Protein backbone atom coordinates (compact mmCIF):
# COMPACT_ATOMS: atom_id res chain seq x y z
CA UNK A 1 0.00 0.00 0.00
CA UNK A 2 1.41 3.39 -0.96
CA UNK A 3 1.60 6.27 1.44
CA UNK A 4 -0.78 9.17 0.79
CA UNK A 5 1.31 12.35 0.89
CA UNK A 6 -1.60 14.61 1.79
CA UNK A 7 -2.68 12.41 4.70
CA UNK A 8 0.93 12.27 5.91
CA UNK A 9 1.23 16.05 5.80
CA UNK A 10 -2.06 16.56 7.67
CA UNK A 11 -0.98 14.11 10.36
CA UNK A 12 2.41 15.82 10.69
CA UNK A 13 0.76 19.22 11.17
CA UNK A 14 -1.75 17.74 13.64
CA UNK A 15 1.09 16.29 15.70
CA UNK A 16 2.95 19.61 15.66
CA UNK A 17 -0.15 21.47 16.86
CA UNK A 18 -0.78 18.91 19.58
CA UNK A 19 2.79 19.20 20.87
CA UNK A 20 2.71 23.02 20.64
CA UNK A 21 -0.34 23.14 22.92
CA UNK A 22 0.75 20.28 25.17
CA UNK A 23 -2.03 18.03 23.80
CA UNK A 24 -4.69 20.35 25.31
CA UNK A 25 -7.73 20.26 22.99
CA UNK A 26 -9.30 23.37 24.52
CA UNK A 27 -6.13 25.36 23.82
CA UNK A 28 -5.88 24.00 20.27
CA UNK A 29 -9.48 24.96 19.47
CA UNK A 30 -9.11 28.38 21.11
CA UNK A 31 -6.13 29.01 18.83
CA UNK A 32 -8.08 27.82 15.77
CA UNK A 33 -11.04 30.08 16.63
CA UNK A 34 -8.69 33.03 17.05
CA UNK A 35 -7.06 32.33 13.69
CA UNK A 36 -10.48 31.97 12.06
CA UNK A 37 -11.75 35.28 13.45
CA UNK A 38 -8.63 37.07 12.20
CA UNK A 39 -9.45 36.02 8.62
CA UNK A 40 -12.70 37.98 8.65
CA UNK A 41 -14.23 38.32 5.19
CA UNK A 42 -11.74 35.91 3.61
CA UNK A 43 -13.79 32.99 4.90
CA UNK A 44 -16.52 31.62 2.67
CA UNK A 45 -19.82 31.36 4.46
CA UNK A 46 -22.74 29.36 3.18
CA UNK A 47 -26.06 31.20 3.12
CA UNK A 48 -28.47 30.15 5.83
CA UNK A 49 -31.10 27.77 4.61
CA UNK A 50 -34.75 28.39 5.29
CA UNK A 51 -36.19 26.13 7.95
CA UNK A 52 -38.24 23.28 6.59
CA UNK A 53 -41.97 23.51 7.11
CA UNK A 54 -43.17 21.38 9.96
CA UNK A 55 -45.66 18.64 9.19
CA UNK A 56 -49.23 19.26 10.30
CA UNK A 57 -50.20 17.79 13.65
CA UNK A 58 -52.08 14.49 13.29
CA UNK A 59 -55.83 14.54 13.74
CA UNK A 60 -56.78 13.31 17.21
CA UNK A 61 -59.49 11.17 15.68
CA UNK A 62 -57.17 9.31 13.35
CA UNK A 63 -57.66 5.94 15.06
CA UNK A 64 -59.93 4.86 12.23
CA UNK A 65 -57.04 5.31 9.82
CA UNK A 66 -54.84 2.90 11.81
CA UNK A 67 -56.87 -0.21 12.67
CA UNK A 68 -55.31 -2.59 15.16
CA UNK A 69 -53.42 0.02 17.12
In sequence order, what are the residues at sequence separation of 6 or more whose Cβ sits closer than 8 angstroms to the Cβ of residue 36?
43
Q: What is the phi-psi region of residue 37: left when phi exceeds 0, alpha when psi lies from -120 to 50, beta otherwise?
A: alpha
Residue 3 lies in a domain: yes
Q: Are 23 and 14 in contact (CB under 8 A)?
A: no
The whole model's pTM is what? 0.50
As a 3-state breakdown, the chain gives helix, strand, coil percent values, each rounded to 5, of 55, 0, 45
Residue 25 lies in a domain: yes
Q: How many domains does the chain have?
A: 1
Residue 11 lies in a domain: yes
Model pLDDT for residues 6-60, shown as the tens digit of each residue: 999 999 999 999 999 999 999 999 998 998 888 877 777 788 888 776 666 666 6
Domain extent at residue 11: 1-40
Residue 66 lies in a domain: no
Residue 34 lies in a domain: yes
Amino acid sequence: MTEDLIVSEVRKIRDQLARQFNFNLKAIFADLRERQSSLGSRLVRRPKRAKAEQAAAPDRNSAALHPGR
